[in-house]
Chains A and B, each alone.
Chain A
Amino acid sequence: MTTTIVTPKAAPAKEVEKDASMVKQKEMMAAHYDRLTSAPQTGEKVVSTFVPGNLNELTMCFGLLNNLPEVNAIQNGLRRTSGAFVLEAEKIGHSEDVCTYVKSDIGMMAKGNIAPNGKRFPDPDVLLLSYTGCFTFMKWFELLREQYKCETIMLHTPYMGDGKITPNMIEYMVKQLKDEVIPTLERISGVKFDIDRLREYLKKSATAEDDLVHVLQSAKRKPSPIDAYFGGIYYIGPIFGAFRGTDDAIDYYRFLREEVEARLAAGKGPVTPDGDMGKEKYRLVVEGPPNYTNFRQFWKMFYDEGAVVVASSYTKVGGVYDFGFRHDPEKPLETLAEYCLGVYTNRSLPMRIDMLTNYVNDYDADGLLINSIKSCNSFSAGQLLIMREVEKRTGKPAAFVESDLVDPRYFSAANIKNRLESYFQMIEQKRAATRAAA
Chain B
Amino acid sequence: MEASLNGSKTATIVARAQALFDDLSFASAREWKAAAPGRKVVGYMPIYVPREIIHAAGMLPLGIVGGGDQLEVIHGDAYYQSYICRIPRSTIELGVSGRLDFVDGMLFPSICDVIRNLSGMWKMMFPNVYVRYFDVPQNYRDDIGGNYYVNELTELMHHLGELRGQPITDDELRHSIAGYNENRRLVRELYSFRAQRPWQAPAAEVYLALRAGLVLPVEQHTEMLRDYLAAAASEERPRRDNCRIVLTGVFCEQPPLNLIKSLELAGCYVVDDDLLLVTRWLTADVPTEGNPLHNLALAFLHQSESTAAKYEPNLKEKGQHLVRAVRRSGAEGVIFACPSFCDPALLERPMLQHVLKDADIPYIAFKYAENSGQMQPIREQAGTFADSIKLWSGT
Contact = CB atoms under 8 A, between A and B. Distances in A.
A395 B122 CA distance: 23
Contacts of A143: 347, 350-351
Q: How large is the interface on B (under 10, 10 to 19, 20 to 34, 35 or more residues)?
A: 35 or more
9 contacts: A131-B311, A154-B139, A154-B311, A159-B135, A171-B147, A175-B144, A378-B117, A380-B81, A385-B79
Contacts of B135: 158-159, 161
Contacts of A152: 313, 315
Interface in A196-218: none
B112 interface: yes
A138 B346 contact: no
Given A136-B343, A145-B315, A146-B351, 9 more contacts: A138-B311, A159-B110, A168-B152, A171-B148, A179-B144, A349-B120, A381-B118, A383-B81, A385-B124
B390 interface: no
A402 interface: yes
10 cross-chain pairs, A with B, having the tightest CB-CB distances, nearest first: A349-B120, A161-B133, A139-B347, A172-B148, A156-B138, A95-B346, A382-B117, A377-B113, A378-B113, A168-B151
A373 B112 CA distance: 16
Interface of B: 78-81, 83-84, 88, 108, 110-114, 116-121, 123-125, 132-133, 135, 137-139, 141, 143-145, 147-148, 151-152, 155, 308-309, 311-313, 315, 318, 338, 340-344, 346-351, 353-354, 367
Given A154-B138, A402-B81, A135 B116 contact: yes
A238 to B, nearest CB: 27
Interface residues of A, number: 55
Interface string A131-151: 100111011101101100100
A350 B123 contact: yes
Contacts of B367: 95, 97
Contacts of A168: 148, 151-152, 155
A333 to B, nearest CB: 13
A93 B116 contact: no
A218 B353 CA distance: 51
A220 interface: no
Nearest to A349: B120
Interface of A: 92-95, 97-99, 102, 129, 131, 134-136, 138-140, 142-143, 145-146, 149, 152, 154, 156, 158-159, 161-162, 168-169, 171-172, 175-176, 179-180, 348-353, 372, 374-375, 377-378, 380-385, 389, 402
Contacts of A172: 137, 139, 144-145, 147-148
Contact of A162 (B133, B137, B143, B347): B133
Contacts of A142: 311-312, 318, 351
B138 to A, nearest CB: 4
A135 B309 contact: yes
A384 B367 CA distance: 25
Nearest to B342: A97
Contacts of B139: 154, 156, 172, 176, 180
Contacts of B118: 381-382
A154 B140 CA distance: 11
Nearest to A99: B343
Given A97-B342, A138-B311, A402-B81, A161 B116 contact: yes
Given A99-B343, A350-B120, A381 B80 contact: yes
Query: Which of A131, A175, A377, A384 is packed against the most chain B CB atoms within 10 Å?
Result: A377
Nearest to A158: B135
A349 B121 contact: yes
A349 B131 CA distance: 13
Nearest to A92: B350
B84 A381 contact: yes
B258 to A, nearest CB: 22
Contacts of A154: 138-139, 311, 313
